[in-house]
Structure 1
Amino acid sequence: MRATAFFAVVSVATFITGQSQAQDAAAGEKVFTKCKVCHVADEDKNKVGPSLNGVIGRTAGTRPDFKYSEAMIAAGKSGVVWDEPTLTTYLQDPKAMVKGSKMAFPGLKKDEDVANVIAYLKQFSK
């Protein structure tokens, strides 16, 4: 019983700590400049990469009028949906999460940058 209570407390603490990451949209906009070469978030248009407008909640590989890699289409068919935890994993190391993706970006190394970019993307995913 004590072990169960301990793990419950640790789980809740981890969840709260993870959720309390910076989540600063203004800082995320600055980090997003690394992404702007290929993506746009504030408009519904594709560039070299798909539009990230409305990305939160979208199934991977399903943005209309964009030619995705087979790997990204397969990721979507396997159930990958872009939510905070999935985006966190992907933004840290895109090639590791979706092997064979066309995305050349190596990922964001700082957890704070990842959290802030997600906060920035949330503004355009309502």
Structure 2
Amino acid sequence: MTPLDTVLAYYKAWTSHDFDLAMTYIADDITCHAPAGPIVGAEAFRAFMEPFSQILRTSELHAAFGDDKTALLMYGTSTHPVPDAPGAELHTVHDGKITTLRIIFDRLPFEQARAAQAASQQS
């Protein structure tokens, strides 16, 4: 499998709500660079990413590119709290496992949705 094949299989798994399968493409010592800061190790990565996969309604892949070490995806998602949440991911792959992942997405709509939910629960 090429790095792009690996990353597309990972993307298909988590967007299909099969996070156990998605984790088979993740290296034990993954480093994920997320907007909130670095996440190190497969267990920490799962704790970060799996909840997002659970609120996912749909995802549409806009672009996918790769070479012999990396793959880049750009996609749009619709989640329960945020109807339009685009994202991009740059992956480094070694021996069929994602070793480094840089995720880019806008945190503000999610923070606004959490604040609105908290305000409605206080009312």
Q: Same fold (TM over 0.5)?
A: no
Q: TM tier, shorter chain?
A: under 0.3
Decide which structure has greater strand share: 2
Task: Report the TM-score, using the length of structure 1 for normalisation.
Answer: 0.25
Q: Relative CO higher for 1 or 2, CA cutoff 8 Å, sep ≥ 6?
A: 1
Greater share of residues in helix: 1
Larger Rg: 1
